[in-house]
């Protein structure tokens, strides 16, 4: 599909989930490299994992934007009340503490901002949590995403909606690498089902309302200040506490890890080129819609990953020099909702955006280990 350039410079950009792991890095990069762009971030700062880490990210964003740290007030329903104290609307970074599941807040932001680019990263993430807590997924990933789509529909300034999907849509796909041409009708978790639903809803809105949208299937994103629920982070916490870690499927798992800087580079490139609007033979819009994988393309065996992590944690001083990681591994069966392998075919991204993730696991984990040591004041 042809692409239409979108100028990120001087754009009004809305990033949902801005205090989340990927949202933080994306916002940071835009504030640093696109001085004429304005960013509005929204995040409900929920406690799925330690909200202190989200506050830390938010403070860092305010520091980069040269603005006072947020006051931390919980928002009222209307966006006016939700704009953090101390941040003016004319500033380069405005933060709204609220939920995308609240239609009034979303509509107020769109009315006020008239965003040209929307990047939807807010979601209830995590595969295992979705087995016990389905409501959170329906609220943020379905109702929240629907509110974003509806607001985009009425936003005449909108040039591109970019949204996070996930490698989990591939379910138990046996054919590797996973291609966006593969059938993804068999999700094995509610999380995956909501992400696939996002793609379906986006397709429908692209077709009906001619909204240029691009879905990005991220593959196991990791890095400093990442998500504490993800294996590399939770393993580290347990090992530091002297506990053992569970290695699922007896270690017979492969994950296509993608360093967060590679994800952000991919998102930025995609933001800058939207699927072009065109009419079909019937005179109706051909949906300006696309989906891409963003993954490292080098799936790593879980046991190898654990050993690299262990070495990097020792090197950064997070674990003692004589630490023997093999003494801390519990080999356990597969968990419900898990898949044995993820492996991205990122050819589409390379073809249309000239980018392939390139940061290797050792480099990425070493950066994570150094950040961990500093954040938790270990060395
Ligand atoms: N990290 C990964 O490996 C990975 C892989 C595939 C897809 N994704 C997707 O990428 C996106 C970002 O993931 P992440 O790793 O940064 O996760 P994250 O949990 O760190 O970030 C999501 C942010 O959204 C916020 N949020 C959740 N529900 C909200 C709501 N209703 N309204 C406003 N804010 C809300 C959370 O507070 C959080 O800060 C998500 O959509 C996730 O599903 C992530």
Position in ligand 1 atom list of the atom nearest CA 163: 41
* Bridge-based pairing state of the strands 160-166 and 117-120: parallel
Tens digits of residue pLDDT in 145-202 = 999 999 999 999 999 999 999 999 999 888 999 999 999 999 999 999 999 999 999 9
| CA–CA gap between residue 358 and residue 44 (Å, rounded) | 32
CB atoms under 10 Å from CB of 325, counted, come to: 17
Q: Which residues pair with 94 in a beta bridge?
A: 40
Position in ligand 1 atom list of the atom nearest CA 125: 43
Q: Which of 42, 57, 122 to mutate to test the pocket of ligand 1 (most atoms within 8 A of CB)?
A: 122
The CATH topology of domain 3-223+258-297+343-358 is Rossmann fold (3.40.50)
DSSP-assigned states of every residue in 200-256: HHHHHHHHHH---EEEEEE--EE-TT--TTSHHHHHHHHHHTT--EEEGGGG--EE-
> For residue 43, how far is its CA from the centre of ligand 1 (angstroms)?
9
Domain boundaries, the chain: 3-223+258-297+343-358
> What is residue 85's predicted lDDT score, i.e. its pLDDT?
44
Q: Among candidates 290, 152, 271, which has minimal Cα distance to 217?
A: 290
Give the three-state DSSP class for 74.
coil
Tens digits of residue pLDDT in 63-101 = 999 988 765 433 433 344 445 544 445 589 999 999 999
List Cβ neighbours of 195 (8 Å cut-off, separation of 6 or more).
Answer: 123, 141, 164, 165, 166, 168, 169, 187, 217
Exposed, middle or buried, 371 (CB in 10 Å: 0-12/13-18/19+)?
Answer: middle
What is this structure's pTM?
0.95
List Cβ neighbours of 212 (8 Å cut-off, separation of 6 or more).
Answer: 4, 158, 159, 160, 161, 206, 274, 275, 276, 277, 288, 289
66-69 CB contacts, 8 Å cutoff, 24+ apart: 66/92, 67/91, 67/92, 67/93
Contact 125, 17 (CB under 8 A): no
Q: Among candidates 92, 98, 66, which has minimal Cα distance to 80?
A: 98
Give the three-state DSSP class for 52.
helix
Q: Which of 17, 227, 337 to mutate to test the pocket of ligand 1 (most atoms within 8 A of CB)?
A: 17
Residues recognised as catalytic: 191
pLDDT average per 10 residues of sequence, the chain (379 residues): 95 98 98 96 98 97 87 43 48 95 98 98 94 96 98 98 97 92 95 98 97 98 98 97 94 94 98 96 92 96 96 98 96 87 96 97 98 93
Position in ligand 1 atom list of the atom nearest CA 51: 37
Q: Which residues pair with 83 in a beta bridge?
A: 96
> For residue 122, how far is its CA from the centre of ligand 1 (angstroms)?
5
| CA–CA gap between residue 334 and residue 364 (Å, rounded) | 26
Residues with beta carbon inside 6 Å of ligand 1?
Answer: 16-17, 19-23, 42-46, 54, 99-101, 121-125, 140, 144, 164, 166-167, 218, 220-221, 227
> For residue 20, how far is its CA from the centre of ligand 1 (angstroms)?
6
**Residue owning the nearest CA to atom 34 of ligand 1:** 43
């Amino acid at each position: 599909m042809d692409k239409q350039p979108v100028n990120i410079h001087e754009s009004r950009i809305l990033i949902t989930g801005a205090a989340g792991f990927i949202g933080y890095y994306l916002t940071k990069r835009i504030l640093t490299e696109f001085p004429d762009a304005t960013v509005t971030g929204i995040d409900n700062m929920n406690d799925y994992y330690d909200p202190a880490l989200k506050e830390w990210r938010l403070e860092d964003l305010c520091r980069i934007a040269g603005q006072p740290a947020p006051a931390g007030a919980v928002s009222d329903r209307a966006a006016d009340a939700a704009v953090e104290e101390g941040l003016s609307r004319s500033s380069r970074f405005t933060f709204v503490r609220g939920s995308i599941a609240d239609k009034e807040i979303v509509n107020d932001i769109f009315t006020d901002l008239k965003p040209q680019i929307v990047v939807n990263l807010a979601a209830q993430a995590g595969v295992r949590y979705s087995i016990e807590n389905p409501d959170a997924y329906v609220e943020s990933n379905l109702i929240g995403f629907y509110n974003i789509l509806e607001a985009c529909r009425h936003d005449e300034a909108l040039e591109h909606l970019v949204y996070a999907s996930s490698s989990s849509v591939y379910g138990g796909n046996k054919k590797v690498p996973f291609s966006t041409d593969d059938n993804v009708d068999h999700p094995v978790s509610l999380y995956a089902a909501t992400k696939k639903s996002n793609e379906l809803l986006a397709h429908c809105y692209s077709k009906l309302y001619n909204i240029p949208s691009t879905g990005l299937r991220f593959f196991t994103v990791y890095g400093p200040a990442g998500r504490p629920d993800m294996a590399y982070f939770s393993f580290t916490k347990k090992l530091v506490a002297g506990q053992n870690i569970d290695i699922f499927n007896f270690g017979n798992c492969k994950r296509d890890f993608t360093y967060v800087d590679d994800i952000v580079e991919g998102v930025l490139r995609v933001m800058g080129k939207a699927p072009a609007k065109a009419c079909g033979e019937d005179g109706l819009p051909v949906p300006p819609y696309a989906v891409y994988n963003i993954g490292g393309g080098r799936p790593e065996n879980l046991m190898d990953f654990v050993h690299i992590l262990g070495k990097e944690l020792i090197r950064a001083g997070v674990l003692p020099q004589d630490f023997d990681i093999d003494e801390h591994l519990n080999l356990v069966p597969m968990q419900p909702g898990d898949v044995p392998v993820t492996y991205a075919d990122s050819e589409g991204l390379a073809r249309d955006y000239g980018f392939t993730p390139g940061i290797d696991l050792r480099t990425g984990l070493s950066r994570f280990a150094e950040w961990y040591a500093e954040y938790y004041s270990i060395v």
